Amino acid sequence: MLEPDRVEEDTGRAEVRQIFRISKVGNVAGCMIIHGRIKRSHKVRILRKNQLIFTGNIKNIRRVKDEVSEIAEGFECGISVEGFNDFEEGDILQAFEVKEIARKLKK
């Protein structure tokens, strides 16, 4: 059995506009979704001045006070990322999902 190929597919981008410091939670990035959609199940790359500084999992997404599973382009939300609290205004969150594609033998 061949190992499947893993392909990363970009799904959305968000710009950090403000940082919220919440006790017992850590820092939450107040974001504007500038392209696509971001789902809680996606992974995220954090870019600062076009340099990759962190890759990890989204912990949660909040719209106003409600936790949501996804958010679309044009909306504002709060995003927290597992293992990362060092957000700065202007950071870009690039969401992606990893898809596994079955490999086939060529005849």
Supply the DSSP string of 44-106, one letter for each residue.
EEEEETTEEEEEEEEEEEEETTEEESEEETT-EEEEEETTB----TT-EEEEEEEEEE-----
Q: What is the pLDDT along the chain (107 residues), one digit of tens a residue?
A: 677 788 889 999 999 999 999 888 789 999 999 999 999 999 999 999 999 999 999 999 999 889 999 999 999 999 999 999 999 999 999 999 988 887 777 76
pLDDT for res 1: 64
Residues 43, 81: Cα–Cα separation, whole Å:
9
Query: Could you tell me how many residues make up the chain?
Result: 107
pLDDT for res 3: 79
Domain 12-100 belongs in CATH node 2.40.50.140: no
